[in-house]
Structures are given as structure tokens and as C-alpha cells.
Structure 1
């Protein structure tokens, strides 16, 4: 976010109705200087209130003019003005009052939920369940980007615009949050696979559809989908892996059943078949580049090469 205060305005004393207007640095209009100072001193004021306050100083500007200045500096909402204060202060969230922190938290949560597809929300749209979903998505993104060891609860809280205590309210530890991400990821992908394969009885078609879901989720799904898929291939923490294993094994059992149904050459090692296919799909996220092949095309090609081979003799 851009700086909340224009150059040199920190030298201007707090605003008093009877104080003289400050000189504008670098030919910046007085109105802009005052609007930016008010954004710091009273970030909860709306554009009408700011325009009225400026009239006390003999500066005439419309509410839409105030909003123009806010937009110019990326401060057009109360949440953005509060977040700017947090970002610029060494005290972080402690720089805000309790009511301001609550307002920032609610506003950030609302913005997060607005970016979440309605179909992906929990049934009933309960606020606590929605907040839990926001935390899961933010945590998954950081686990995927930085890894488990380099991600803290404070990092996750900052990512989703909540206080660390709000995260701990839903998840007692980072480990429990990590496990919850994976349980949720496996639940989602298993539901999607079940829906996809339930539409046909052909064994190869069922496998193909399951693979399409798997690859799609790994490279184009939510953060929860991606980190869950990655962990099928790479999990450096063996203690965590052992705790994830029940959910992972339940998901792999779906592919075990699909492979068991295939009409293949007698003597085929179906276990190696399954592991080879899952391993290939799990590594797609490392080399996938959008635009060349779609996730569905990649999955289809993998299944086709295993089924029919690539020898043209």
C-alpha cells in the first residue's frame, strides 16, 4: 500500500479548527495534505465527514474529491486506512484501538469471504465456519509457499487479517491447523472424485475422471487443494506425515479400488501401477505452466499412455 502521509506532513501539528493552514510541500494542494493527515489521525471518518472537517479550515472540497485523494493513495476504505497505519507502525496492530482492531478484523474477513465462491462455503454460511475457512485457506497458502517450519501462527494471522488469538480460538496449535488443512483438502478432493466417477461405470473412464480431478486440484485448485496434493509427494516432517497418513490412505484407497477394477494384462503389478500414476500426477505442480496443456489434457494423456503405451509398432 502507498504511504498514508504525503512528504513532510509529520512536521505539521495536530489539526485544530483555529490553526493556520499548513504550507503544502512540493506544491501539493492543501486539501490533499489535510486529507492524508486525517486519514492517519481519524481513519474511521467517512468522505462526507472529512469534507465537512476541511471546511472548518476554509478548504472547500466535495466528498467525491476526498474519495479521489483516498483512491490516489490506495486509502478509499476504512479497512485500507487502518491497514496502512498497521503497516507503517512498528507496533503493528497494537497501534490501533480495540474498536479499530475489531473493525479491521471484520473488514478483512468480509473481503476474504467475498473472494470465496458461494458454492465453496459451509452450509448455512455461519460466520464462525466462514472464519475457519478463511484461516484454513490462508494457512494453506503459507504452508505451500514457505513450508511448515517457516510458517508461524502470527504469519497466518497477518495473512488473513486476524489477530493471532482469533486463529488460536479455532486451532489450538500450528500442528493442528496443518492437520486440519490436510483433512479438509482430502475431504474436498474425495467428494469431487466420487462425484466425477459416479457418472460412469466404465473402469478406464472412471480412472480418467479421477485423474482429471486430481491434477486440476493440484495446479488450479484452492490453496487447500494444492498443499494437500503436494504432500502426497513431499512431506519432510515424518511425525506430521504419520498423523496425516489416515486421511491420505483413505484417499489413496479410492485409486486402489479404481485400479483394481481395470481390465489389464495378467500379472500386472497393480500396486506399482497405482503408485506410478499418483507419483506422476503429484509432480505436475513442479513443472506445470499455464497455457501449454490444460490440467485435464495432462491427466488424460497420462492415463492414455499407461493404457495404450507410446510404441507405434
Structure 2
């Protein structure tokens, strides 16, 4: 650790800041160091993101997976209290650690690894890279390197990058579609159903797994017409849920419900560009967007 980081951590009124950082690590383990620093700033504690990371490292909490593991241990080894997203994140982290230990220690040969575990790691890595770099700038070699495999191992599960991309989207749509359908029938109030469905959609884009975020964000980012045609049926099934939700709303006569649906989905899909962790929650954003649709913004 550099002297500047030590001074930074100390200058934050170290005992109070450290306790608050450890509390957030337990209560919201997926928050990044920038979001934690912002939370502390709002509470009157000044510490930089690098200072947060130093204190995380001091307690062995420098990754979200380690913080989730600490949270489970704090609860006596019970993972039932974790959210679905947190459980997936923890599972992926544990699988990655097992694979890394096997490679480093000369463990089981590739053929002895569980196929479903290997496939899951590949899908998660592909989703992260497709989201960060785009389809055209991501290669099978990049994906293989990300999970510590040879490119041939990836091709064993997915015959091409195109098939891998489609598999990521298919899984993301199916998972998110299931959650949105549940939200869409969770109340007798059509406006409340719409708000809950929007919250699920936004959570998938900004707070879900890489697969959820890729499926939920702007699909046209690849600019690949052939891929977009392949994705279209999955997208149509998903949009049909929102079409039903919009059709159920009591709206002013003459309202273009189709345009309203596209307006809402387009606005939500752009959230991944401007969202910043620690400011507004998916619930807050969904509530505000639906309220503006329902009541307008004119005083």
C-alpha cells in the first residue's frame, strides 16, 4: 500500500469510515468502490474510492464475491437470505475459483470438469465481453482467455461466436421474461403491474448478471442485421408482455398505445448508458418513469 492510500484511509476518520464500509460490505456487497465512497460522502465521511478499496483489502473483501461469501458466513453459512442475483453472482465466483485452482494446481484434466459448470463460465464471460466491447470486437480467443480455457474448449460447447452470442441472449431473455411475467400479474392495479414490470426490466439492465444486462440493453448495438433477425423472436415475446400491460391501462381516448410502449421500452433500455450505482435504485427509476407517464410533468 502506498503512503497516500494509508493517509487517505486515515483522513476519513478511520474508525467511523471503516465501520461504515464494513457495514455496507455486509448489507450491499455488490456496491462498487465508487458507489461506497459516494454513500460515505453523503453521510459526511470523506474517503476516495481507492481508500475504500484499501480497507476492503485489509479485511479480505476486495471483490464482490468475497463480500458475498463474508455475508453468508456472517449469517452462519445460510445463503437463503441472498437475492437471486446475489446467489448467481456468488455461484459464478465460486465456479471461477474452482476452475482457477484446478488449472494452477494441475487438477483434473479439462475432460473431467463438469460440462454445465464450464458452459456457465463461458456464457458469463461472453456476456461480460459482449457488453463491454461489443459483438464485433470480441473474439472466441478473448472469451477463452477470460475464463482460463483454450479456444478449442469454447468451440466444444458453442460452434461459433454467433451461436454463443445467441445462446447468451436466449438465456437472458428467458430469465428476464419469467420475472417480468410474474411482475405483470402481481396486482389488480394495471399501473402497479406496469411499475413492477419496469422495475424488473431496469434491475436486469443495471443490477443483474452480465447475461441479464446484455439481453435487456439496446440490442441494436451490434449493428449486425443477421444477428438482429435471429434475436427478433425472443424480443417479440418479451415486448408482448409490455404490450399487454399497456393495453390494460385506462388511457385518454386516442392515445397511441403502441407508441407509448415503444417510448417506455426505449427509455428504459437507454438507462445502461447513464446509470450510476448508488444514486437512484431501479425501484425509484421505475416509479418515476411510470408516474410521469401516468400524470405528466406539466404543473
TM-score (structure 2 length as normaliser): 0.63
The within-5 A match list for 1:14-33 is none
Larger radius of gyration: 1
1:13-46 deviations in whole A, cap 9, x for unaligned?
xxxxxxxxxxxxxxxxxxxxxxxxxxxxxxxxxx
| Matches of 1:211 and 1:82, distance apart in 2 | 42
- Report the more deviating stretch, 236-245 or 196-205: 196-205
Counterpart of 2:63 in structure 1 is none
1:181-218 deviations in whole A, cap 9, x for unaligned?
00101001001112222321211111111100000110
Counterpart of 2:278 in structure 1 is 291
Match of 1:273 among 247, 260, 285: 260
1:234-275 deviations in whole A, cap 9, x for unaligned?
331111111111101111111111111111001000011000
Counterpart of 2:229 in structure 1 is 242
Counterpart of 1:185 in structure 2 is 172
SS at match of 1:151: coil
Please say if residues 104 and 161 of structure 1, whose CA atoms lie closer than 8 Å, have aligned partners that are also in contact.
no
Please tell me whether residue 194 in structure 1 is matched to residue 181 in structure 2.
yes
* Cα pair distance change 1:200/1:250, threshold 3 Å: same
Please say if residues 184 and 245 of structure 2, whose CA atoms lie closer than 8 Å, have aligned partners that are also in contact.
no
SS at match of 1:234: helix
Please tell me whether residue 211 in structure 1 is matched to residue 179 in structure 2.
no
| Matches of 2:129 and 2:206, distance apart in 1 | 16
Match of 2:248 among 261, 283, 302: 261
Please say if residues 105 and 161 of structure 1, whose CA atoms lie closer than 8 Å, have aligned partners that are also in contact.
no
| Matches of 1:157 and 1:221, distance apart in 2 | 23
| Matches of 1:195 and 1:133, distance apart in 2 | 25
Counterpart of 2:128 in structure 1 is 141
| Matches of 2:127 and 2:248, distance apart in 1 | 34
Please say if residues 233 and 279 of structure 1, whose CA atoms lie closer than 8 Å, have aligned partners that are also in contact.
no
TM-score (structure 1 length as normaliser): 0.60
Please say if residues 194 and 245 of structure 2, whose CA atoms lie closer than 8 Å, have aligned partners that are also in contact.
yes
Listed as ranges, the gaps of 5+ residues in structure 1 are: 1-76, 84-98, 110-126
Count of aligned pairs between the two proteins: 202
Counterpart of 1:158 in structure 2 is 145
Structure 1 vs Structure 2 CA RMSD: 2.4
| Matches of 1:287 and 1:162, distance apart in 2 | 34
Counterpart of 2:12 in structure 1 is none
Shift of 1:153: 0.9
| Matches of 2:270 and 2:136, distance apart in 1 | 22
Shift of 1:166: 1.7
Please say if residues 217 and 229 of structure 1, whose CA atoms lie closer than 8 Å, have aligned partners that are also in contact.
yes
Please tell me whether residue 169 in structure 1 is matched to residue 156 in structure 2.
yes
Using CA pairs below 8 Å that are at least 6 residues apart, which structure has the higher relative contact order?
Answer: 2
Please say if residues 140 and 161 of structure 2, whose CA atoms lie closer than 8 Å, have aligned partners that are also in contact.
yes
| Matches of 2:207 and 2:274, distance apart in 1 | 13
Shift of 1:134: 1.5
| Matches of 1:81 and 1:244, distance apart in 2 | 36
Counterpart of 2:294 in structure 1 is 307
